[in-house]
């Protein structure tokens, strides 16, 4: 059975800290891995990773995929209170038109 596992499930840090969120997966016919940020509405797309070892960056956020070890990390540096959210990892497998398989998410709380 395909599955996506995120850790930790929740995390509390102080502003300015750096955090690393983990996502491991076991899926058949992996295509890509996606990270989303979800506040009180629909998820917002952050990154899509398809190739191993290539870091994607957007401001203070970065992510990388290891297809050999079947995991990805999402890094957030110099965290701000606005980073508080649920971060979802999802994997796209099989052929086009297949739904994403989501992890349970990591709830990040950044205190000032």
Partner 1 sequence: GAVVSQHPSRVICKSGTSVKIECRSLDFQATTMFWYRQFPKQSLMLMATSNEGSKATYEQGVEKDKFLINHASLTLSTLTVTSAHPEDSSFYICSASGHPSSTGGLNTEAFFGQGTRLTVV
For binding to partner 1 (CB under 8 A), which residues are involved? Answer: 32, 34, 41-43, 45, 48, 88, 92, 96-100, 102-105, 107
User: Is residue 52 within 8 Å of residue 68, measured between CB atoms?
Assistant: yes
Q: Smaller CB distance to partner 1: residue 5 or 17?
A: 5
For residue 110, the minimal CB distance to partner 1 (Å) is 18
Q: Smaller CB distance to partner 1: residue 3 or 18?
A: 3
For residue 59, the minimal CB distance to partner 1 (Å) is 17
Q: Write the DSSP symbol of residue 102.
A: E
Task: Provide the b/e sequence for 83-102 (b: ≥16 CB within 10 Å).
Answer: bbbbbbbbbbbeeeeeebbe
């Amino acid at each position: 059975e395909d599955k996506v596992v995120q850790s930790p499930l929740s995390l509390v840090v102080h502003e300015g800290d750096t955090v690393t969120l983990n996502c491991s997966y076991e899926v058949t016919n992996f295509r890509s891995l996606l990270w989303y940020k979800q506040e009180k509405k629909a998820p917002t797309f952050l990154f899509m990773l398809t190739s191993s070892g290539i870091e994607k960056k957007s401001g203070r956020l970065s992510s990388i995929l290891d297809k050999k070890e079947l995991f990805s990390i999402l890094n957030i540096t110099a965290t701000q209170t606005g980073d508080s959210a649920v971060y979802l990892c999802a994997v796209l497998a099989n052929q086009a038109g297949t739904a994403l398989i989501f992890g349970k998410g990591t709830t990040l709380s950044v205190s000032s």
